[in-house]
Amino acid sequence: MTPNHRPRRLARTTALLAGAAVLALSATAVADSIVYVDQGNVWSGRPDGSGRVQLTDGGSWHSPTQADDGTIAAVQGTGPIVVMARDGQPLRTIATPSAKTANGGTFAARPVQLSFSPDGSKIAYAYVADSCPPGVSCSLQRSTFYTRADVTEATPIDDWGNQFSVSDPEWVTNERTLVFGGFGSQISIDDLGPGDYSQVPWVTPNEDMGDGEVSRDGKRLAATFSYGTNKTIALFAVNGDVRTQLPPPQPSLACEITPADERYGDPSWSPDGSGLAAETSNGIELLRFAAFGPDLCQTTGESVVFAAGGSEPDWGPADPAAARWVAPPREVPRETPRETPRVTPRARDDGRGGSTRATIRLAATPRPTVAALRRGLAIKVRSSTAGSVAVTLTLGRRTVAHGSARARRAGVVTVRLGKLGARAAGRLRGRRLTLTVRAGKASARTTVKVR
């Protein structure tokens, strides 16, 4: 990307000469970061090429954008919008609604072309799709919408309207965006507020324009110009105040980036307005300006390839994350080991003037399930003496099931509890119940969880 002053339709031109330049940008950019897509995932890194961090997995990610504090939003596949911290930690998802198209059809909820407001309070997004409603010719439809960023269901469309026939929204202030459409509304300005079609045309040359951005100070404008193999990027010096005037005066051409490249897209200014990132056939290229104004584009040198194969850059003032967020290991709930209940009841006369001490305990740890409760839960009890053994299953003070059996001799006896109905058993899933075992005056209890 290098200046070329050859006159053309827009007068002055600047050539983007990618070449084999290595990243060697000025140190003033080290606090900035660029979020972008590479091999289907969202990445961030400093403009000098350091600090690159992959933030997502799974592929099919697109439309990354960042607020001034480094909060990032992007979309995987058809949605929803995913809001994440600068290190990739997911914060929330935002589901967007279906919406009307300008030709009477309906957009599916598939957000693209996200743009975070500088203060991080709002996200602009677009729907772009072919629409073929009955009785109407098929055509490519587009609309721009807005939502608060701190929600999980997108702000209702009626709050800020459906901006029909424009897309690629980019914020000028926290309350104003640039939007891009067809002939007559190539570059328009939209102030947030209720109502559809509220955008006001600003730059409307006799050629296709779109996918642009103004610098943070409002003094520089970059936008794609023409289409297909003739596509370039036009750079303008803004006249008036694009942040307050509606519309401001027509901007003055500074230069046009050439050679033509049908991959040109997503031009994004550095926070101080001295640098420009853009998607090209070489990936993402960066260019720095030493001087800029009407009919003036003086660069500090050739463009550099920031990310070969990268796309959709968004340049912001926040530092990139030092490392990617890693989810803590998922803890698998573990049952606290329980000692098998033992009870030593009163001593019994052994008939020879001495005595024995009877004991009772569970022969196996019960693992009740809903199905087992419906069949009648079987509990194995080990008793040191013959006699009656009773087992009760309770939930709080309520008896859930009860059963008893007689031990003919010392050893293991099986006590089967009464059957429960399907509904009663189902309600106990996940509940902790108290299991009480009794033999004579001796008793023991433990807690079991229904699975």
Q: How many Å apart are CA 221 and CA 32, to the nearest integer?
A: 20
Residue 275 lies in a domain: yes
Task: Write out the H or E segment, with its range, that includes residue 422.
Answer: helix 422-427
pTM beyond 0.85: no
Higher pLDDT, 8 or 340: 340
pLDDT at 335 over 90: no
Check if the beta carbon of residue 176 is closer than 8 Å to that of residue 183. Answer: no
How confident is the model at residue 332, as a pLDDT?
Answer: 66
Check if the beta carbon of residue 199 is closer than 8 Å to that of residue 191. Answer: no
Q: Are residues 204 and 239 in the same domain?
A: yes
Centre a 10 Å sphere on the Cβ of residue 271 and count the other Cβ atoms it contains: 19
Which one, of 259, 275, 351, 345, lies nearest residue 313 by Cα? 275
Query: What does the block give as tokens for 278?
Result: 């853009």
pLDDT at 215 over 70: yes
How confident is the model at residue 115, as a pLDDT?
Answer: 99
* pLDDT interval class at 349 (50, 70, 90): very low
Q: Are residues 302 and 360 in the same domain?
A: no
Which one, of 149, 172, 171, 175, lies nearest residue 160 by Cα? 175
Q: Are residues 307 and 400 in the same domain?
A: no
Q: Are residues 109 and 205 in the same domain?
A: yes
Residue 178 lies in a domain: yes
Higher pLDDT, 330 or 143: 143
Residue 137 lies in a domain: yes
pLDDT at 239 over 50: yes
Buried b / exposed e along 294-325 (16+ C-beta atoms within 10 A) = eebbebeebbbbbbeebbbbbbbbbebbeeee
- How many domains does the chain contain in total? 2
Angle at 37 between CA 179 and CA 268, to 5 degrees: 40
For residue 189, give its domain range: 2-316
Q: Are residues 305 and 430 in the same domain?
A: no
Residue 309 lies in a domain: yes
pLDDT at 173 over 60: yes
The residue-averaged pLDDT of 435-450 equals 84
Angle at 295 between CA 275 and CA 191, to 5 degrees: 65
Specify whether the backbone of 420 is left (phi greater than 0), alpha (psi in -120 to 50) or beta: beta
Task: Determine the 3-state secondary structure of 159 from DSSP.
Answer: helix
Specify whether the backbone of 158 is left (phi greater than 0), alpha (psi in -120 to 50) or beta: alpha
Q: Are residues 117 and 179 in the same domain?
A: yes
* pLDDT interval class at 437 (50, 70, 90): confident
How confident is the model at residue 329, as a pLDDT?
Answer: 86
Average pLDDT over all residues of the chain = 88
pLDDT at 392 over 80: yes
CATH of the domain at 187: 2.120.10.30
Task: Determine the 3-state secondary structure of 28 from DSSP.
Answer: helix
Check if the beta carbon of residue 110 is closer than 8 Å to that of residue 127. Answer: yes
* pLDDT interval class at 338 (50, 70, 90): low
Q: Are residues 374 and 308 in the same domain?
A: no
CATH of the domain at 403: 2.60.40.10
Tens digits of per-residue pLDDT, 71-83? 999 999 999 999 9
Residue 24 lies in a domain: yes
